[in-house]
Structure 1
Amino acid sequence: MTGSSSSLWRKPPLGVIILIAMILLAVIGPFVVAFNPASVDTSSRLLAPFSYNRNGTFFLLGTDQLGRGMLEQILHGARISLLIGVAAALLAGLVGTLVGVTAGWLGGRSEAFIMRVADVQLSFPSILIAVFLAAFVPPSILAVIAVLAITRWAQIARLARAVTVKARQQSYVEAALTLGFPVPKVIWSCILPNLVAPLIIVLTAELSLIILAESALGYLGLGTPPTVPSWGRIIANGKNYLDNAWWISTLPGLGIGFVVIAIGLTGDWMRRVLARGGFEVN
């Protein structure tokens, strides 16, 4: 690793720090602050941030229309939204990589067919596909992960196919095949290492899009079950109270914005680190 790239590792940008802080809050927060989605306290409903209820309980971020604390909901919703986003991105990356490498290695009609399927999917807005699929499956975390992964695999498959086609033309790949190395070993040792750096960059962008899509599904009531808080569902719960309780929808919306921006800055930082470390990221 060069000196310039190591300096980037030692001095990560603010976006990376924000993303790490929000991940830590999402992981640790729900263990510290309990949340019961079935709880109702009419005496504490629609309290503004930094307010006390009649019993003297302090609500840092206020309460919703049922008297539930917004801090608790946002922390638990952060865990759900980030879990879904990361899991769906990894699943889409796995499927897209397998499909793209297979297409690039086989070539011919197999490659043409696989890429035409990917092109057809990419011709439709991914959120439209997600809404269509989510409408036919029962609401659950696993269902949302699967739906979002299905909508995002095609872009990764195109990347994997392009990298595979380029790498297969290299002399070291031809030499490995000539020496009789099995194809799976050649792909693992010669093709996939060329895919790691660009795949990391693409997955950071895909993670942002997946989190936004998950929030949209939650807002439409097609994401997680009502008893499982997510940022999109919390925003939907407060859409009828924007005039007198703006914090219900605004605070989780700010959380989504901060996470998406932080992921984008992190992806740009990782691209510069990998590029200065000698990896090909284009």
Structure 2
Amino acid sequence: MTEPTSLKIRKFPVGVVMLMALCLAAAIGPFFIDFNPASVDTSSRLLAPFSHNRNGAFFLLGTDQLGRGMLEQIVHGARTSLLIGVSAALIAGLAGTLIGVMAGWLGGRSETLIMRIADIQLSFPSILIAVFLAAFVPPSILAVILVLAVTRWAQIARLARAVTVKAKQQNYVEAALTLGFPVPRIIWSCILPNLIAPLIIVLTAELSLIILAESALGYLGLGTPPTVPSWGRIIANGKNYLDNAWWISTLPGLGIALVVIAIGLSGDWMRRYFARGGWEIT
């Protein structure tokens, strides 16, 4: 007996709701909450959450060592971290898909060369490659996006290549080739539809890793410029104040944890949704 549609919709996953709420807050929050990275207010420095300064101003999440509000930094840092993470994941997904499909379709020496390059990159920790590349480029959001995209394309390329090789063996692809359909049309209509579901699932996992890598680069001072707040840089700013101002590093760390958990839950739900093909996921 099937459940009513209304009951199935109620099973919409918590992870997706969490992720949508966090993305919405990161997208519109900075328009309502101003933050000046150059501002300094020594009279308000290291205030605990839910505190007032001498002028009566209320700080919901406290202040840092320079008297800047933590709420403002976390909201603006969320936009930076999520923008970098999503952009890098999309670029890595596009590049990896194109390279993997090309390798799987061409086969032969071209496939071997591309896959060996991917294997070589995968043999090194991605964060090590990111730190190495980031050390040679000027700090900027675009540079961080490109660096992180370069570190994540190989896994997606391997997936795209495997799906392409399997699809090439199907009768409908052989029939399309026999009928003289152009290769781009065959790839678009016969190969890519088979890649959509596994690609979305892999990209959710890659997005979590990219956000963690961006935070690590920010913590090391190799990510965004000092004038652009990011969660990793905020955590680094508070590492020397853990004994008397734990909230500086802890609160953005909780933000990173919530985003990664939400992405992981969303990815798991999408995996089960595509596997079963419906809303009856519990």
Band the TM-score falls in, shorter-chain normalisation: over 0.9
Query: What is the match of residue 161 of structure 1?
Result: 161
Q: Which residue of 2 aligns with 1:146?
A: 146
The aligned residue for residue 46 of structure 2 is 46
Q: Distance in 1 between matches of 2:169 and 2:251?
A: 51
The answer on 1:262 being equivalent to 2:262 is yes
- Evaluate the alpha carbon distance shift between residue 103 and residue 266 of structure 1 in structure 2; reply closer, same or farther with a 3 A threshold: same
Q: 1:272 to 1:4 in 2, by over 3 A?
A: farther
The residue aligned with 2:171 is 171
Q: Do 1:204 and 1:264's aligned partners in 2 also have CA atoms closer than 8 Å? A: yes
CA contact (8 A) 1:129 1:151 kept: yes
The verdict on how the C-alpha distance between 1:245 and 1:198 changes in structure 2, with shifts beyond 3 A counting, is: same
Q: Work out whether residues 235 and 252 of structure 1, in 8 Å CA contact, stay in contact via their aligned partners in 2.
A: yes
Alignment correspondent of 2:63: 63
The SS at the match of 2:21 is helix
1:207 aligned partner: 207
* Cα distance change of structure 1 residues 170 and 15 upon mapping to structure 2, 3 Å threshold: same
Corresponding letter in the other structure for 2:76: H
Distance 1:269-1:33 versus aligned 2 partners, 3 A rule: same
What whole-Å deviation, never above 9, does each CA across 1:90-128 have from its counterpart, x for those lacking one?
A: 000000000000000000010000000000000000000
- Asked whether the equivalents of residues 5 and 273 of structure 1 are also in contact (C-alpha less than 8 Å), the reply is no
CA distance in 1, matches of 2:11, 2:118: 39
Supply the distance in 2 between the matched residues of 1:182 and 1:165 (Cα, whole angstroms).
18
> 1:44-80 CA deviation, whole Å, 9 max, x = no partner?
0000000000000000000000000000000000000
- Alpha-carbon spacing, 1:116–1:8, altered in 2? closer, same or farther (3 Å): farther
Tell me how far 1:20 sits from its aligned partner: 1.2
Shift of 1:13: 2.1
Gap change, CA 1:4 and 1:152, over 3 Å in 2: farther
Instruction: Report what 1:253 is aligned to.
Output: 253
8 Å Cα contact 1:201-1:270 kept in structure 2:
yes
Other-structure match for 1:239: 239
The one-letter code of the counterpart of 2:199 is L
Give 1:7 shift.
Answer: 6.0
Quote how far apart the aligned CAs of 1:248 are. Answer: 0.2
Q: CA deviation at 1:11?
A: 2.0
Q: Measured at CA, do residues 3 and 229 of structure 1 come closer, stay the same or move farther in structure 2, by a change above 3 Å?
A: same
Distance 1:246 1:145, change over 3 A: same
Partner amino acid for 1:236?
A
Q: For each residue in 1:148-195, what CA deviation from the matched residue of structure 2 results, as whole angstroms up to 9, or x when unmatched?
A: 000000000000000000000000001111111100010000000000
Q: Is the 8 A contact 1:126 1:152 kept in 2?
A: yes
Q: Which amino acid aligns with 1:209?
A: L
Segments of structure 1 that go 5 or more residues without pairing to the other structure are: none
For residue 251 of structure 2, give the secondary structure of its aligned residue in structure 1. Answer: helix
Deviation at 1:18, TM superposition (A): 1.4
Give the length in aligned residue pairs: 277
Alignment of 1:94-133 (within 5 A): 94-133=94-133
Deviates more, 1:148-157 or 1:7-16: 7-16
Query: Offset at 1:6?
Result: 9.0
For 2:244, the aligned partner's letter is N
Opposite residue 135 of structure 1, the aligned amino acid is A
Residues 96/57 of structure 1: CA separation in 2 closer, same or farther (3 Å cut): same
Q: 1-side partners of 2:181 and 2:7: how far apart? A: 39
Q: In the superposition, relative to structure 1, how do residues 9 and 112 fare at CA in structure 2: closer, same or farther (>3 Å)?
A: farther
TM-score (normalised: structure 1): 0.96
Quote the Cα distance in structure 1 between the aligned partners of 2:4 and 2:97: 30
Asked if structure 2 preserves the Cα contact closer than 8 Å seen for 1:5 and 1:277, the reply is no
- One-letter code aligned to 1:211: I
Q: CA deviation at 1:274?
A: 1.2
How many angstroms does 1:10 deviate by? Answer: 4.4
Quick one: percent identity of the two aligned structures?
A: 84
Task: State the one-letter code of the partner of 1:233.
Answer: R
Alignment partners' CA distance in 2, 1:93 and 1:5: 33
TM-score with structure 2 length normalisation? 0.96
**Distance (whole Å) between structure 2 residues aligned to residue 4 and residue 90 of structure 1:** 36
2:16 alignment partner in structure 1:
16
Does the CA contact (< 8 Å) of 1:45 and 1:63 recur in 2?
yes
